[in-house]
Amino acid sequence: MTHNNEQFKFVSKALLPTRFGMFTIHGFLDQETNQEHVALSYGHWQKNDAVPLRIHSECLTGDALFSTRCDCGFQLEKALQNIVEYGCGVLLYLRQEGRGIGLINKIKAYQLQDDGLDTVEANEHLGFDADLRNYDICKIMLATLDIKVVEIMTNNPKKVSALEAMGIKVSARQPIDHGVTDDNKQYLRTKTDKLGHKFDLDKLK
């Protein structure tokens, strides 16, 4: 089934073998920004099943370059592992680097963090809000995959609210507090204290 609107468009899909298992990759285009986003689906589900879901915002440094100053790469890997273990599920990979400020600005923010600011203060020092991400495209992505009910893997309650606002039922929120390192403990504390993320703070001691 294909669902498009004037801004968001489903483009194509193909098999994607990974070291976790065989996924299908679905390509989507935001025609206003020309940004390309993908969904990775695994297994099968019925129309009203609660489908395991991870909404993951792009993090080149964590996802591809193995940075340990955030937990993004660890969460991406754990989410894909979980989906395969569950037997089905979807990961929506959204191209909004650095909570929406872009890669170069994220590097500038990293420099400010090296000088003593936290991740929120660094974004604000550069003139940005703490989090500029937008989840509107998720509605078309999930509709294309015939998903109406999800069990979301996230520590961020804002993702739950965004899904519910677009008419997606969230039957459960599963924490994905995975990948604590000495390099990212302060970053995770800041996300918990200032951005409202739900995280087991005992893991940060």
CA distances from 34 to 19, 60, 162 (A): 30, 19, 22
Provide the pairing of β-strand 169-174 with 8-17: unpaired
Report, as ranges of residue numbers, the positions in the chain whose pLDDT lies below 70: 1-5, 201-205
pLDDT of residue 174: 93
Digit-coded pLDDT (tens) for 74-124: 999 999 999 999 999 999 999 999 888 999 999 999 999 999 999 999 999
Q: Is 136 a catalytic residue?
A: no
Binding residues for GTP: 54-58, 75, 97-99, 119, 154, 159
**Domain locations in the chain as residue ranges:** 8-96+133-204
Q: Is 131 a catalytic residue?
A: yes
pLDDT of residue 1: 47
What 3-state DSSP class applies to 50? strand
Catalytic residue among 30, 63, 118, 131: 131
Selected from 3.40.50.2300, 3.30.230.10, 3.40.50.10990, 3.30.70.20, the CATH number assigned to the domain covering 8-96+133-204 reads 3.40.50.10990
- The Cα–Cα gap between 23 and 159 comes to 23
Q: What are phi and psi of 51, to 5 degrees?
A: -95, 130
What 3-state DSSP class applies to 29? strand
Q: What is the pTM of this model?
A: 0.91
